[in-house]
């Protein structure tokens, strides 16, 4: 009997890769005075929307037809954890090095506790600080440290915790009627805006509405609202796509976005936009532009063989780049000679090393480990099927 291959949304894979690269460049340039992709934190909201869409596509039918919750969660852990573990193997020594040279005020005991929590995929709710992407010669004052990162050895991994929470929530979301799903999205959107206003009042930079919550101790609980909105929106978009329900605004965007390359460029421009307009700009992207991009991207095909290869490569690299870039960049900026005076060179070296290590780690470590764990712990054979998408 011939096995049926699942449809793969290749353009959405490519879009995820563009988003991951934008996040990497934003973090690498955050302390250089010339920040790149200013609004790349919006990419995390795109990741959550994509997760809802792709997990619905990959697992809805299987869960409704008998795949157990235990088996499903096991598959999600196997998919997410190996690369995360690799990132922690780099990130823990990097955090210790930062503390030893005075670029972090974490005592050794706190590093141990935080690392153990994080290795269990749990957040560490501490109040210590670290200087990210800074040279040993920069002498950054303690008051400018990033305080309270819930994954201090790998700051970007905060969203992976919420990704696992959302993955478990899918077990309930797949059984909701569309009207109930819409109610959930409306409520979470209102709460997201409300917490954004409250966090904006507290924010020292006086941003009226702050949507970048979830990464730190002080805004940790708002992360649940952020992922609830994004993930449930992705679930709804998949439902609309599956039933071929037309969207008026979707038609408008589809006139502008006629190809995969146009979609990638539009999102790159969206996260590179230099003005926040008092929080209104990220709000517009999160609530309108990003969902419509996913809706339109699901209906696009790669432009020829080159477009398909580009989409595959970007999607394949997106998760390792996202996982590995923070600890790698932290090490490069700490020890690259003169990185405070030549930030462009430090950024270029960090990007090159991140891509190279991502390729090597994925090929030689992550993929073999995932294949082994799948053979050992999965109760169903996957031969002949495409690998589960990274979400």
Instruction: Quote the pLDDT of residue 236.
Output: 96
> If pLDDT is split at 50, 70 and 90, which confidence band does 336 have?
confident
380: in domain: no
Three-state DSSP class for residue 94: helix
385: in domain: no
338: in domain: yes
Instruction: Quote the pLDDT of residue 391.
Output: 61
97: in domain: yes
**Cα gap 196→201, rounded to integer Å:** 9
- Per-residue model confidence as pLDDT tens digits over 186-226: 999 999 999 998 888 776 555 688 899 999 999 999 999 99
pTM for the predicted model, two decimal places: 0.93
368: in domain: yes
Overall number of domains in the chain: 1
Give the whole-number percent of the chain exceeding pLDDT 90.
75
Backbone angles phi, psi at 385, to 5 degrees: -100, 155
The predicted model gives 245-269 an average pLDDT of 83
* Residue 338: pLDDT over 70: no
- Per-residue model confidence as pLDDT tens digits over 369-382: 999 999 988 655 44
> If pLDDT is split at 50, 70 and 90, which confidence band does 344 have?
confident
Give the whole-number percent of the chain exceeding pLDDT 70.
90
Pure H helices in the chain:
10-28, 42-64, 69-100, 108-119, 158-173, 178-202, 222-242, 248-256, 260-272, 280-284, 290-297, 304-335, 343-361, 367-377
Domain encompassing residue 85: 10-375
346: in domain: yes
> If pLDDT is split at 50, 70 and 90, which confidence band does 33 have?
confident
3: in domain: no
* Residue 52: pLDDT over 50: yes
Instruction: Quote the pLDDT of residue 7.
Output: 78
1: in domain: no
């Amino acid at each position: 009997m011939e096995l049926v291959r699942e449809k793969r949304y290749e353009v959405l894979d490519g879009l995820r890769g563009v988003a991951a690269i934008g996040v990497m460049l934003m973090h690498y340039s955050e302390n250089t005075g010339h920040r790149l992709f200013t609004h790349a934190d919006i990419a995390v909201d795109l990741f959550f929307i994509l997760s809802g869409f792709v997990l619905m596509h990959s697992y809805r039918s299987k869960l409704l037809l008998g795949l157990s919750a235990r088996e499903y969660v096991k598959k999600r852990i196997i998919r997410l954890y190996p690369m995360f573990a690799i990132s922690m193997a780099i990130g823990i020594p990097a955090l210790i090095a930062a503390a030893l040279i005075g670029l972090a005020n974490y005592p050794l005991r706190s590093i141990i506790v935080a690392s153990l929590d994080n290795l269990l995929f749990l957040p560490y709710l501490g109040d210590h600080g670290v200087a990210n992407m800074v040279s040993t010669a920069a002498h950054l004052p303690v008051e400018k440290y990033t305080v309270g990162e819930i994954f201090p050895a790998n700051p970007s991994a905060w969203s992976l915790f919420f990704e696992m929470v959302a993955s478990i929530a899918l077990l309930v979301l797949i059984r909701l009627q569309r009207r109930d799903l819409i109610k959930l999205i409306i409520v979470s959107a209102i709460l997201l805006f409300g917490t954004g206003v409250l966090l904006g009042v507290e924010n020292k930079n006086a941003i009226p509405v702050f949507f970048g919550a979830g990464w730190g101790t002080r805004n940790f609980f708002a992360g649940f609202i952020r992922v609830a909105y994004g993930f449930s929106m992705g679930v709804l978009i998949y439902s609309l796509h599956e039933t071929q329900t037309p969207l008026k605004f979707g038609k408008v965007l589809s006139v502008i976005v006629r190809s995969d390359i146009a979609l990638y460029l539009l999102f790159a421009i969206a996260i590179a936009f230099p003005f926040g307009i008092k929080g209104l700009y990220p709000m517009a992207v999160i609530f309108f532009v990003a969902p419509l991009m996913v809706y339109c991207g699901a209906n696009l095909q790669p432009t020829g063989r080159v477009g398909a290869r580009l989409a595959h490569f970007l999607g394949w690299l997106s998760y390792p780049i996202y996982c590995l870039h923070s600890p790698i960049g932290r090490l490069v900026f700490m020890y690259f000679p003169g990185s405070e005076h030549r930030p462009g060179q430090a950024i270029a070296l960090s990007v090159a090393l991140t891509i190279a290590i991502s390729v090597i780690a994925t090929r030689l470590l992550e993929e073999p480990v995932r294949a082994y764990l799948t053979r050992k712990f999965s109760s169903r054979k996957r031969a002949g099927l495409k690998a589960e998408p990274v979400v």
